[in-house]
Structure 1
Amino acid sequence: MNALRVTVSAIVVVFLAGMARAEEVRTIKIATEGAFPPWNAVNASGEPVGFDVDVGVALCARANLKCEFVTQAWDGIIPALTVGKYDAIMAGMSITEKRKRVISFSEPYALTSNYFVVSKSLGLPAMENGMKLDLTTETDTGKRLLADLKGNLKGRSIGVQGSTNAEAFVREYFGDTVEVRTYDKQDNLNLDLVAGRIDGGLADFSVWKAFLESKDGNSTHLYGPRISGGLFGPGIAIGLRKADEALSEKFNGAIRAIAADGTLKDISLRWFGGDIVTR
């Protein structure tokens, strides 16, 4: 009897130990677009790279999660999450009320700063540098900035990446004064801007930065105020299924940890040459 008890106990211990090891590291799939540099892109070997990927690797290490990154076209990235094709989205995705009706979000791991970029050849009226337009709160200054922008861009063609907050913003605030053209990728928007097929575009500064510093970008410049809040949400975060509360808690704890020790800022400096994560 004692021998039997010892054998059973040993089996139980081995079983529980095996369960503990299985629970220690969970393999999850994280989707990224792979076409939104420097947030995310695909390298010559076909592997996802970029700010989102490096942040994801750091978060999974802190949360003791084994990560596998996959690419997914932007227009289907949320539907594929909801049907279980993968477990999370890290693709420069802003938190918005519309998206929150379908999925949940982690705490933000980066901020957003949206700008119009236009062709220098347009000769648009000058606008004061360094102005900020926060759509979350209505102010007289904000109303004036919007009115000036609408007047200065009236009749122009403005490009945006489709199914993004930039498209929603331009259609809502400028749809009656500009021609809106949508693109599947930011690179294609940039090509049309350089070729003169559109007059300008709207996107996050982090997306514009590399283009503006390139030879092609010399023919364009930032125009108008930094635009944030409102439709653009409080920041960039991880998209998750609403039922995955435990996974959300793990990511939130990891986000706070890599923000506190400077890892998140280091990754930002590596990919953007500046700090887009510190509030």
Structure 2
Amino acid sequence: MKKTLTTLAAVAAIAVAGIAADASAKEWGKGSKIKIATEGAYAPWNFTDSAGKLVGFEVDLAADLCKRMEVECEVIQQAWEGIIPALQAGKYDVIMAGMSITEKRMEVISFSRAYAATPAVFVVTTGNKSAGFKTAVDALTLEEIDAAEKTALDAVVKEFKGKTIGVQISTTHENFLREYLGKDATIKTYDTQENLDLDLQAGRVDAALASASYWVPLLASDKGKGMVMVGPGMTGGPFGNGVGAGIRKEDKALNDMFTKAINASIADGTSKKLAVQWFGFDASAK
């Protein structure tokens, strides 16, 4: 799915300086009270409904995991920018916000095992010249690229050369664009995915890059009319290793609890059921 942060160095500095609220690990177990932060602006992963209530795949998954752990959980909304520093400062205990597991993030926080994994995909409007863009391979893995994948990646770079591409700021998707298209395309960042969608439909950007788990339900709705996914689905490399729960490094017991609960949710099919319900396809981790 989404996301990486540009503020990791600042977070590390905060941790070193001892600004975190509690540098020692808390005691975690049955009956614990756990505060979980989510962005609340990345449907269908997490968002607020018309009544202002937090809903979405991660909200429902959190409820399932907390029941399995026999703990009391509160899910709160937190802006994406600053979500890791606030975890480090003790504002909450866990992040479930479509956060991809990356090596850079793991320098400052730990992650549970992945609970979801979806490819990144470009979207354009149906009237755009790139609307029919395809590559010989449908799936492009950026870990160990073979000849066919290299050809597909080169085709992606060529297709979007000279274009203006929109992306949510401080995400793994932005990282990909900076790494592979930073010299060849204009990259325009947005504070929320919704604002990016508006500019895409208005023609202020030529293309947008985000997770397929975001695009599939959007394009099936009225809000996604006139938009189409193009090119290969991309995973690995700058996109990380799936989406997991972000947890302070010192809270190993809490991490173990979440990983055990996620394993159980995957094993009995609950995470798959929730993924199909919210995304329209199985985006659960394997």
TM norm structure 2: 0.87
TM-superposed CA distance for 1:24, in Å, is: 3.3
Paired residue for 2:276, among 265, 269, 278? 269
- In the alignment, the residues of structure 2 paired with residue 194 and residue 163 of structure 1 have an alpha-carbon distance, to the nearest angstrom, of 22
RMSD: 1.5
By how many angstroms is 1:42 displaced? Answer: 1.1
The corresponding residue for 1:36 is 42
CA deviation map 1:53-111 (0-9, x unaligned):
11111001101111001100001101100110000000011100010011000000011
Q: Show the 5 A alignment for 1:81-92.
A: 81-92=87-98
Which residue number in structure 1 is paired with residue 85 of structure 2?
79
Aligned to 1:112: 118
Alignment of 1:210 onto 2:211: no
Partner of 1:166: 173
Q: Provide the rounded CA distance (Å) in 2 between the counterparts of 1:27 and 1:181.
A: 40
Q: Is the 8 A contact 2:216 2:280 kept in 1?
A: no
CA distance in 2, matches of 1:84, 1:185: 25
Cα distance, 1:120 vs structure 2: 2.4
Closer/same/farther in 2, CA of residues 44 and 121 from structure 1, 3 Å limit: closer
Cα distance between partner residues in 1 of 2:29 and 2:235: 40
Count of residues in correspondence between the two structures: 258
User: Which residue of the other structure, out of 227, 247, 254, is the alignment partner of 2:261?
Assistant: 254
1:99 to 85, 99, 105: 105
Q: Is the 8 A contact 1:129 1:224 kept in 2?
A: no
Partner SS for 1:231: helix
* Contact residue 194 and residue 216 of structure 1 kept, 8 A: no
Q: What's the CA shift for 1:220?
A: 2.1
Residues 137 and 23 (structure 1), Cα distance of their counterparts in 2 relative to 1, 3 Å cut = closer
* Equivalent of residue 188 in structure 1, options 186, 190, 195: 195
Look at both structures and tell me which one has the larger radius of gyration over its CA atoms: 1
Q: Which residue of 2 aligns with 1:6?
A: none
The CA distance in 1 between the partners of 2:29 and 2:140, in whole Å, is: 46
What residue is the counterpart of 1:149 in the other structure? 156
The SS at the match of 1:38 is coil
Correspondent of 1:70 among 76, 82, 97: 76
Look up the SS of the partner of 1:121 in the other structure.
Answer: coil
Corresponding residue of 1:57: 63
User: Which is helix-richer, 1 or 2?
Assistant: 1
Task: Please say if residues 104 and 241 of structure 1, whose CA atoms lie closer than 8 Å, have aligned partners that are also in contact.
Answer: yes
Per-residue Cα deviation, 1:128-168 (whole angstroms, up to 9, x for no partner): 37611101112111211111111111111100000100001
TM-score by length of 1: 0.89
